[in-house]
Amino acid sequence: MQSNYCVVIGDISKSRELRDRAAIQERFKAAIEEINQRFTDSIVSKFLVTIGDEFQGVLNDAAKSYDIIVAMRELLYPVEFVFGVGVGTITTEIAPEAIGMDGPAFYNARVALEEGKEGGYEVRYRGVGEPFDYLINAMLVLIEALKRNWTEHQFKVISIYRETSNQAEVARRLKVSRSAISQILAAAGWDAIAVGEDAVKKLLSTGVQTSF
């Protein structure tokens, strides 16, 4: 059994203020199913809804946690989340679904989630080890600052571009010119965000390997 795992806990922000909560709950459940199918190779204990508008899952690859966070945001946009991600051991037996377990990985994820809620951050990491926790969270603050100004259209363009990595294909799907897509990506600060996100994932991989 491996010694360290990655726990992701997500909570819908201001869920009581959302309109049509029943419809959002259905989308929420469908999104979790999609995540479980899409990232099956990295999931140790499947994601599931735990308390209210909160969900959690256990991974064998901390670097994949950020991809899962991005995917959840895309699947439920414009619903906003706070995510806490913890790395560490699990002291109980590993379960097929992420419930009924305990250990430092869960504790770190919970503390990270509370830090996110208190500080107004979308994503916080804890347990990767220093200086990696600090560097990852600092990078995420910069990324979130750029994303905060995205319009709905920019979000849609970038979601398709993440999937395809091809500006011509994005332009084809949205029936606009390639130059228009290039301008939208530039206005959204995509080049800087892409570098930052790549750095986060590399820091996660390096930090976990160094710390355990």
Q: Quick one: tokens of 69?
A: 């966070």
For domain 5-127, the CATH architecture is: 2-Layer Sandwich (3.30)
Q: Is 1 exposed, middle or buried (0-12, 13-18, 19+ CB in 10 A)?
A: exposed
- Encode pLDDT of 13-24 as tens digits: 876 666 777 788
- The domain segmentation of the chain, as residue ranges, is 5-127
In order of 129, 132, 196, 202, the CA distances from 135 in angstroms are 10, 5, 11, 11
The string of DSSP letters for 145-165 reads HHHTT--HHHHHHHHHHHHH-
Q: How far apart are CA 189 and CA 56, in angstroms?
A: 30
Cis amide leading into 104 (omega within 30): no
Per-residue pLDDT of the chain (212 residues; tens, 9 = 90+): 457 899 999 999 876 666 777 788 889 999 999 999 999 999 999 999 998 789 999 999 999 999 999 999 999 999 999 999 999 999 999 999 999 999 999 999 999 999 999 999 999 999 999 899 999 999 999 999 999 999 999 999 999 999 999 999 999 999 999 999 999 999 999 999 999 999 999 999 887 665 54
Q: How many CB atoms lie within 10 A of CB 210?
A: 10
